[in-house]
């Protein structure tokens, strides 16, 4: 186990701007969130049915100073009270990441504080530490967001072994595309989740893809195509689409694969703790099914509150804390790395 205790309080000012949320937070000693400010760009991107990278960067530039100031204010802190500045430097949209990285560098340099670059996925995983005092590595974690679907062993703070990943679309991406196809709009995940509550998950059978020779990998493009074919066929036949049934059946197909891979990995590899993370981890069916499956197999399940599932800076502050106390420091040449791999520095 790496060192995870220090004598003095460590307060991290954290910044996150990898996609469509401009966020800043102050986190004390890794698990105490003193402030968590999120400026969402959803209203802006809804007009276009998805995130427009150029607009995202501009909006981040407009909001970042306000968000950082609000995070410090809410935490009743001035810059001199901060121990270090942590920032997401990848993966994500390059222009969006650059805004956060430049802001963090400027603040850290001006205030003479250490700078810590944080991997966005490590942030999502770390969101689980915020509300679960008892959670410590090792455990199995399923990370499901708009850009990523990974099944990993969290071996220690900041140390991951990747068991599986998606071969094509991310789980959240599949939710967003299906939502758009049935006219539910952007962002699709929460809308499909809501519509599915009134539908029958057994109404339409959609395929569950297995990846040959890679039991923990995922593939969602076949499922997405099956949903689109179903919609096109219904339209051609002049049949009305039952949106609630379609949403519930699609969601059921995604959730079944996510749950079975995760639980099988925990049982086969002998881990007693399972966590879920990322925007899709706030999906109500995923939470319910994962809870039931973990209970059946005697596994302890952890998940963050919805506000810590979708992009936020508190999770970056938590990850940044563990990186900081383990000695990680970034140079003033820290750059945005849009395709940063998990485990890479
Ligand atoms: O983690 P996140 O905020 O951003 C990325 O790092 O990608 O995840 C956003 C994704 C979107 O695809 C969104 O549709 C999905 O998470 N999402 C959901 C739900 N809430 C957000 N998917 C399914 N059900 C939800 N309740
Ligand atoms: Zn994310």
Q: Give the number of the atom of ligand 1 that is nearest the alpha carbon of residue 188.
A: 14
pLDDT in tens, 149-164: 999 999 999 999 999 9
pLDDT of the residue at 345: 67
What is the per-residue pLDDT across 59-98, written as a single tens digit (0 to 9) for each? 999 999 999 999 999 999 999 999 999 999 999 999 999 9
CA 190 to ligand 1 center in whole angstroms:
7
CA of 170 to the centre of ligand 2 (A): 11
Question: Residue 6 pLDDT more than 60?
Answer: no
Q: Tell how far the Cα of 234 is from the centroid of ligand 2, in angstroms.
A: 34
Q: How far is the CA of 202 from the centre of ligand 2 (A)?
A: 30
How far is residue 102's CA from residue 61's CA, in Å, rounded to a whole number?
10
pTM here is 0.95
Please answer whether residues 256 and 249 qualify as being in contact, where contact means their C-beta atoms are separated by less than 8 angstroms: no
Residue 303 beta carbon below 6 angstroms from any ligand 1 atom? no
Q: Is the CB of 317 under 6 A from ligand 1?
A: no
The single-letter DSSP state of residue 199 is: S
Task: Check pLDDT > 60 for residue 256.
Answer: yes
Query: 90 CB less than 6 Å from ligand 1?
Result: no
Nearest to 302 by CA among 154, 97, 106: 154
- The pLDDT of residue 29 is 98
Q: Is 20 in the pocket of ligand 1 (CB under 6 A)?
A: no
CA–centroid distance, 171 to ligand 1, in Å, is 8
Instruction: Tell me the ligand closest to 220's alpha carbon.
Output: 1
Q: What is residue 44's predicted lDDT score, i.e. its pLDDT?
A: 86
Apex 38 CA angle, 34 and 44, nearest 5:
175
Query: Hey, what long-range contacts does 223-232 have (CB within 8 A, 24 or more apart)?
Result: 223/174, 223/250, 223/253, 223/254, 224/169, 224/174, 224/177, 224/178, 227/178, 227/181, 228/177, 228/178, 228/181, 230/204, 230/206, 231/181, 231/182
Q: Is the CB of 172 under 6 A from ligand 1?
A: yes
Contact status, residue 226 vs residue 206, Cβ threshold 8 Å: yes
Containing H/E element for 106? helix 94-111
Please report, for residues 3, 53, 179, 316, 325, the alpha-carbon distance to residue 7 in angstroms, rounded to integers and kept in the order given.
Answer: 12, 42, 49, 22, 11
Does the structure show a pLDDT above 80 at 224?
yes
% residues pLDDT > 70 (the chain): 98
**Contact call for residues 10 and 325 (beta carbons, < 8 A):** yes
Per-residue pLDDT at 214 exceeds 70: yes
19 lines ligand 1 (CB under 6 A): yes
Average per-residue pLDDT for the chain: 95
pLDDT for residue 7 is more than 80 = no
**Residue 12 clears pLDDT 70, i.e. is over it:** yes
* pLDDT at residue 42, as a whole number: 84
Mean pLDDT within 240-263: 97
User: Residue 134: what pLDDT?
Assistant: 95
């Amino acid at each position: 186990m790496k060192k995870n205790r220090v004598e003095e309080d460590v307060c991290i000012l954290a910044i996150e701007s990898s996609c469509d949320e401009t966020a800043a937070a102050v986190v004390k000693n890794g698990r105490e969130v003193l402030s968590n400010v999120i400026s969402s760009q959803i209203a802006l991107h809804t007009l276009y049915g998805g995130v427009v990278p150029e607009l995202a960067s501009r909006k981040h530039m407009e909001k970042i100073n306000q968000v950082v100031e609000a995070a410090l204010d809410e935490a009743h802190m001035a810059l001199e009270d901060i121990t270090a500045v942590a920032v997401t430097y990848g993966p994500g949209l390059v222009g969006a990441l650059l805004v956060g990285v430049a802001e963090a560098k400027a603040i850290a340099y001006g205030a003479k504080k250490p700078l810590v670059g944080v991997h966005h996925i490590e942030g999502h995983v770390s969101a689980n530490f915020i509300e679960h005092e008892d959670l410590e590595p090792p455990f199995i974690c399923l990370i499901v967001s708009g850009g990523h679907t990974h099944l990993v062993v969290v071996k220690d703070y900041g140390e991951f072994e990747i068991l599986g990943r998606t071969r094509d679309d991310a789980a959240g991406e599949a939710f967003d595309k299906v939502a758009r196809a049935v006219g539910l709009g952007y962002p699709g995940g929460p809308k499909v989740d809501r519509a599915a509550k009134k539908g029958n998950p057994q109404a339409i059978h959609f395929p569950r893809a297995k990846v040959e020779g890679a039991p923990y990998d995922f593939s969602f493009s076949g499922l997405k195509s099956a949903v689109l074919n179903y919609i096109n066929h219904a339209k051609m036949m002049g049949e009305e689409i039952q949106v609630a049934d379609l949403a519930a059946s699609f969601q059921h197909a995604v959730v079944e694969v996510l749950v079975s891979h995760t639980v099988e990995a925990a049982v086969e590899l002998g881990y007693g703790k399972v966590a879920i993370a990322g925007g899709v981890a706030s999906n109500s069916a995923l939470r319910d099914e994962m809870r039931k499956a973990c209970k059946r197999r005697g596994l302890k399940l952890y998940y963050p509150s919805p506000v810590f599932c979708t992009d936020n800076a508190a999770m970056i502050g938590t990850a940044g804390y563990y990186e900081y106390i383990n000695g990680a420091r970034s140079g003033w040449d820290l750059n945005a790395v849009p395709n940063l791999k998990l485990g890479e520095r």
